[in-house]
Chain A
Amino acid sequence: MISPTLTQFLIDVTRGHQVQAYTNDREAVLKASGLSDDHCAAIRKQDIGALWLAGAHPMALLYFARACGWTGERYYECITNAGLSAKHSSNS
């Protein structure tokens, strides 16, 4: 299930109206975002796996990872592993 709020935030800070503000003062933008503490923590840590599991739209998350300097290979490996871990946890 895609999270529209989380997805919109990732879009705003990578290709939307918050790009400059996020670059200048990440904490202020996060504070004003209304995102949950968990989501904010995952964004701060660039925890792509957690954001994937939290329902970030795949395309928006890919753009966020690229903006964080991630290669495509690293991104795809991370979300694949996150999905496998979540599946393993739910089965055990």
Chain B
Amino acid sequence: MLAAATVHFPYMTAWPDRAPAKDREATMSGFARLGRAFIDGGIDTVIAFTSEHIVNLQPRLAAPFLIGVGESHKAFPEPHFNLEPVTRRGDPELAYHLVNGLYDCGFDPAHSSELLFDHGTVLPLALMKLPANVAIIPIIINSIFQPLPPLERCRAFGHAVKQVLAKSSFGRKIGFLATGGISHTVGAPDHELNDPSFDKRFVGAIARGDVDGICRISDKEIDTVGNGTHEIRNWVAVAGAMHPRRPTVVTELPYVTGWNSGVHQLLWEAA
């Protein structure tokens, strides 16, 4: 099985020219490498562990894990991020199988037939240039409305997803994609700063396969490096699914001027 993890900062498409050319090129080259790996690997369905930004989840209803089971997934329009609101194909047969299988594993994910994508999912799919025939099953992990699912629970959830898919008989070639993070702040002071030391520690731990160490990071510490950092839950879920395999670091830019963030991308190549 193949997996990738990437940030999804919308500045990358909203203001590509604000970043230095070498950083921009490294970022786009990283997305291209992730995309090529999925395409060359003949991936039929991408399980996208993703975040969203108040499009599906709200205080009124914020499930810890939400699986998109629709025939297709529309995109919430975000023209200010220079993103086309592309509708992507879903994989309801496998998605419902996944929901039922997770029930058997002791998880109770919510499911939605009308889940909407936003830049958290649209951006990486677009920049990876995944063709329209590749189906997407989005799994939104709540990273915005407290209380959030603990990191350890996200790891176990990712592992359970892998277990369910490994036992399925649908014959799909599956790829995992984690999007979000790493340290950043949205809507709060210091939004222009990421924390390169946190990012380095986090990515380093995943690259070493030290998922235990990652799961010891407290929500309090995550809060101190920025509210958007909670999106690392998606990376933790994929790391849990792929453990003990270790990823290759594809892109590691501690801080990109103009995008006000670090750019990090990982790839667990096909075994």
Chain B: interface size category: 10 to 19
Q: How far is the CA of A16 from the CA of B54 in the complex (A)?
A: 10
Q: How far is the CA of A75 from the CA of B60 in the complex (A)?
A: 25
From residue 106 to 152 of chain B, which have CB atoms closer than 8 A to chain A? 144-146
Residues of A within 8 A of B59 (CB): 2, 4-5, 7-8, 11, 57
**Chain B min CB distance to A81 (Å):** 10
Contact yes or no, A62 B187, CB < 8 A: yes
Q: How far is the CA of A59 from the CA of B59 in the complex (A)?
A: 12
A76 contacts which of B54, B145, B189, B227 (Cβ < 8 Å)? B189
Task: Name B residues whose Cβ lies closer than 8 Å to a Cβ of A.
Answer: 53-55, 58-60, 144-146, 186-189, 191, 227
B58 contacts which of A11, A58, A61, A79 (Cβ < 8 Å)? A11
* 9 extra A-B contacts, CB within 8 A, seeds A2-B146, A57-B187, A59-B187: A2-B145, A4-B59, A11-B54, A15-B54, A15-B55, A58-B227, A75-B187, A76-B189, A79-B187
- CB closest residue in chain A, given B55: A15
Q: What are 24 inter-chain pairs, A to B, with CB distance below 8 A?
A: A2-B59, A2-B145, A2-B146, A4-B59, A5-B59, A8-B59, A8-B60, A11-B54, A11-B59, A15-B55, A57-B145, A57-B187, A58-B186, A58-B188, A58-B227, A59-B53, A59-B186, A60-B54, A61-B187, A75-B187, A79-B187, A79-B189, A80-B189, A83-B189
